[in-house]
């Protein structure tokens, strides 16, 4: 079976449908994956790009962005690099109202066994319940 890495713009065209031809191509690819005819893979940098684009170019609010990211994570036939960290990050962001990227940093730190986070963004990391390194 063919394995295909999916870039952010394919997901964006699928979810925004702002280009009908590209939307149809993306939809076909995702149907092929769901049917088991192709294996899709992607990674966290793609999700960061999607979150940033949806916020900056499309003006979506955090809850809608997290909904899109959750839907991507649950796509049939998609293997997500660092999937458990991404899922935890979406959960943290949903509960705390923080950005996905910051939530991913905290989820990564926990997964790697770090006891605290060194950051100057204390306000958002405290909202997420992070233990902070004194700087």
Q: Which positions ≥6 away from 117 have C-beta within 8 Å?
A: 105, 106, 109, 125, 130, 131, 132, 133
The yes or no reply on domain 1-81 and CATH 3.30.460.10 is no
Which DSSP symbol is given to 111? Answer: H
Residue-level pLDDT at 28: 97
Cα–Cα distances (Å) from 48 to 20, 107, 130, 132, 135, in that order, read: 24, 14, 20, 23, 27
- Domain boundaries in the chain? 1-81, 84-135
CB 86 within 8 A of CB 68: no
Residue-level pLDDT at 52: 97
Residue-level pLDDT at 1: 82
Per-residue pLDDT of the chain (135 residues; tens, 9 = 90+): 899 999 999 999 999 999 999 999 999 999 999 999 999 999 999 999 999 999 999 999 999 999 999 999 999 999 999 999 999 999 999 999 999 999 999 999 999 999 999 999 999 999 999 999 988
Residue-level pLDDT at 23: 97
Which DSSP symbol is given to 129? Answer: T
Query: pTM score, two decimals?
Result: 0.91
E strand or H helix at 3, and its extent?
strand 2-5
Closest CA to 96 of 66, 59, 56: 66
């Amino acid at each position: 079976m063919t394995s295909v890495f999916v870039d952010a713009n394919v997901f964006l065209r699928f979810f925004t449908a702002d280009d009908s031809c590209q939307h149809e191509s993306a939809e076909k690819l995702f149907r092929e994956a769901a049917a088991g005819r192709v294996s899709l893979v992607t990674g966290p940098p793609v999700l960061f790009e999607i979150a940033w684009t949806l916020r900056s170019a499309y003006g979506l609010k955090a809850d809608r962005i997290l909904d899109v990211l959750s839907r991507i994570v649950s796509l049939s036939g998609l293997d997500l690099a660092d999937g458990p960290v991404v899922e935890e990050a979406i959960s943290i962001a949903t509960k705390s109202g923080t950005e996905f990227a910051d939530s991913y940093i905290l989820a990564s730190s926990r997964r790697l066994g770090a006891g605290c986070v060194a950051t100057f963004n204390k306000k958002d990391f405290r909202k997420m319940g992070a233990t902070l390194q004194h700087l």
